[in-house]
């Protein structure tokens, strides 16, 4: 469905997704082949190609020096800025892949430093950690928006899938909740709403 939306001309510069998609190399290859940047969550035990073989994401991040961590906001939350410590490591490219450059991004809780989330990322050469954190933070915005929609529209029936994808255009970082089943319909509706907005 994502392929059909992109083939229909729906613009997308970045995609962020949960572990179910992030763990799927075919999904990442698909995005890379389309030259779409991504920030996808991965499990801590995800094998990461590191130039000398592979190692688990959590093993690679465990060796990060203190100065590798940078405190950044993942966006505004209900209780203010969602601040975390973030670390970014460049990953070696592979000749048979489209998604160069690639990075491993880690998000560490300030109050519970043992709570670390991991992301595989790919994007243009000039991509900064700030951009990757902003893209990663939009997954929370999607979930918050969906809760608000459900609270304001009690008669609205929504089947919540376990996976979601967020697509953002190059000109804005506005996000839309997309399920696998309604991906194409939602993207087309979003583009129609934007084109008719005053």
| Three-state secondary structure call for residue 34 | coil
Whole-number pLDDT of residue 72:
96
On whether the CB atoms of residues 44 and 58 are closer than 8 A, the answer is: yes
Instruction: Please give the residue that has the higher pLDDT: either 132 or 100.
Output: 132
Supply φ then ψ for residue 58, to 5 degrees: -65, -30
Using CA atoms, how far apart are residues 13 and 116, in angstroms rounded to an integer? Answer: 26
Using CA atoms, how far apart are residues 30 and 34, in angstroms rounded to an integer? Answer: 6
Supply φ then ψ for residue 87, to 5 degrees: -130, 145
Single out the residue of 169, 186, 178 nearest to residue 21, CA to CA. 178
Report the chain's mean pLDDT, rounded to a whole number: 75
Whole-number pLDDT of residue 100:
65
The tens digit of pLDDT for each residue in 147-196 reads 666 565 544 444 333 334 444 333 333 333 333 333 444 444 444 444 44
> Number of C-alpha atoms within 13 angstroms, CB side, residue 99?
24
Whole-number pLDDT of residue 93:
66
Whole-number pLDDT of residue 69:
97
For residue 88, pLDDT beyond 50: yes
Segment 39-58 shows an average pLDDT of 89
CA-based torsion, 154, 156, 159, 161: positive or negative: negative
Whole-number pLDDT of residue 95:
53
- pLDDT tier at 117, thresholds 50, 70, 90: very high
| b/e sequence 101-118, b meaning 16+ C-beta within 10 Å | ebbbbbbbeeeeeeebbb
- pLDDT tier at 108, thresholds 50, 70, 90: very high
Sorted by where each begins, the domain ranges of the chain are: 2-193
Segment 34-58 shows an average pLDDT of 89
Instruction: Please give the residue that has the higher pLDDT: either 125 or 167.
Output: 125
């Amino acid at each position: 469905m994502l392929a059909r939306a992109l083939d229909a001309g729906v613009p997308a510069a970045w995609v962020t997704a949960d572990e179910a998609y992030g763990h799927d190399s075919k999904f990442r290859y698909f995005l890379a082949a389309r030259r779409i940047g991504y920030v996808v969550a991965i499990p801590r035990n995800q094998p990461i190609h590191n130039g000398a073989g592979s190692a688990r994401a959590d093993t690679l991040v465990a060796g990060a020096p203190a100065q590798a961590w940078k405190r950044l906001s993942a966006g505004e939350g209900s209780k203010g800025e969602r601040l975390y410590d973030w670390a970014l490591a460049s990953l070696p490219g592979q000749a048979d892949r489209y998604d160069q450059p690639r990075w491993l991004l880690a998000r560490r809780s300030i109050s519970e430093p043992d709570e670390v989330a991991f992301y595989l990322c790919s994007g243009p050469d000039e991509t900064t950690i700030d951009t990757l954190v902003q893209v990663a933070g939009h997954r929370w915005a999607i979930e918050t928006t969906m809760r608000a929609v459900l609270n304001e529209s009690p008669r609205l029936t929504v089947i919540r899938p376990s996976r979601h994808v967020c697509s953002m255009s190059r000109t804005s970082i506005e996000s839309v909740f997309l399920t696998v089943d309604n991906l194409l319909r939602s993207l087309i509706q979003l583009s129609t709403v934007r084109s008719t907005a005053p």
